[in-house]
């Protein structure tokens, strides 16, 4: 049965319930898996070269594109339609990109668990606000309301802080952080396959698919940090991970911020 016909025979809120069910399945899978500790040698990155007095220069400086995309996105959004349901969520996502650049550069300057908190916090914020923006455009506009955004940011922060407190006690558990980071990787493609859309100005599905592909490639390069560096020599997998992730952020922000402000197109005409 075509999806359009299927919708007419089920509860009108079935998409929301299906996505909630998907989130619960991810949470259940992580819970059944048991505690996930940070793997040994996490801070042992392949490219340790210093440049212009900057330690681990490639991994530090490759965070600059995040800041550029974030600032550029905030400027673009200032000229986009503020009436779009996900406008505030997109602004917070861009702000999170700027914070990610600062936090990740700080961490890579001298990698250790304490600095890693500054790295993971803004990444968790970016994942949470990006998901809120997507859901507001595709499922329910309330997903980008101020209370929901605040709750998402708090939960994202708790996922990192809980890991850090556990790590200090010798029992660090990454499950909550991994839930925040990978939930968009499940929810976004599921909603796109179901062709969900509540906003006429929703960011195109093609942009979301491109971001998913770039992010998946970035995670693969992160895992292959040393093999990539040993093979190429010029750049490591982790550095390329930063660049691909920033490219994905640029792609989606460009697509999301393309709506003109009210009256701007008419004035231009």
- pLDDT tens readout for residues 136-171: 999 989 999 999 999 999 999 999 999 999 998 888
Q: Is the pLDDT of residue 45 over 90?
A: yes
- For 209-230, letters b (16+ CB in 10 Å) and e give ebbbebbebbbebbebbbebbe
The per-residue pLDDT for 82 is: 62
The per-residue pLDDT for 263 is: 44
For residues 13-38, give the mean pLDDT.
88
The per-residue pLDDT for 266 is: 37
| pLDDT tens column, 59-108 | 999 999 999 999 999 999 988 766 678 999 999 999 999 999 999 999 99
- pLDDT confidence of 258, banded at 50, 70, 90? confident
């Amino acid at each position: 049965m075509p999806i359009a016909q299927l919708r007419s025979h089920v509860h009108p809120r079935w998409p929301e319930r299906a996505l909630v069910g998907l989130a619960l399945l991810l949470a259940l899978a992580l819970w059944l898996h048991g505690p996930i500790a940070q793997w040994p040698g996490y801070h042992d990155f392949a490219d340790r070269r210093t440049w212009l007095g900057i330690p681990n220069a490639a991994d530090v400086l490759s965070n600059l594109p995040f800041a550029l995309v974030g600032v550029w996105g905030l400027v673009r959004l200032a000229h986009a339609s503020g009436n779009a349901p996900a406008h505030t969520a997109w602004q917070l996502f861009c702000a999170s990109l700027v914070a990610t650049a600062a936090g990740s550069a700080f961490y890579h300057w001298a990698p250790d668990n304490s600095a890693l908190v500054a790295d993971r916090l803004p990444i968790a914020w970016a994942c949470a606000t990006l998901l809120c923006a997507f859901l507001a455009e595709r499922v329910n506009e309330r997903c980008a309301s101020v209370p929901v955004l605040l709750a998402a940011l708090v939960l994202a922060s708790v996922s990192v802080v809980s890991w850090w407190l556990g790590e200090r006690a010798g029992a660090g558990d990454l499950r909550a952080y991994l839930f925040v980071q990978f939930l968009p990787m499940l929810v976004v493609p599921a909603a796109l396959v179901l062709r969900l859309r509540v906003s006429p100005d929703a960011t195109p599905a093609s942009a979301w698919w491109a971001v998913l592909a770039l992010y998946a490639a970035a995670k693969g390069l992160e895992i292959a940090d040393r093999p990539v560096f040993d093979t190429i020599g010029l750049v490591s997998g982790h550095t390329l991970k930063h660049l691909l992730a920033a490219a994905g952020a640029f792609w989606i922000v460009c697509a999301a911020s393309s709506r003109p402000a009210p009256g701007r197109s008419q004035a231009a005409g």
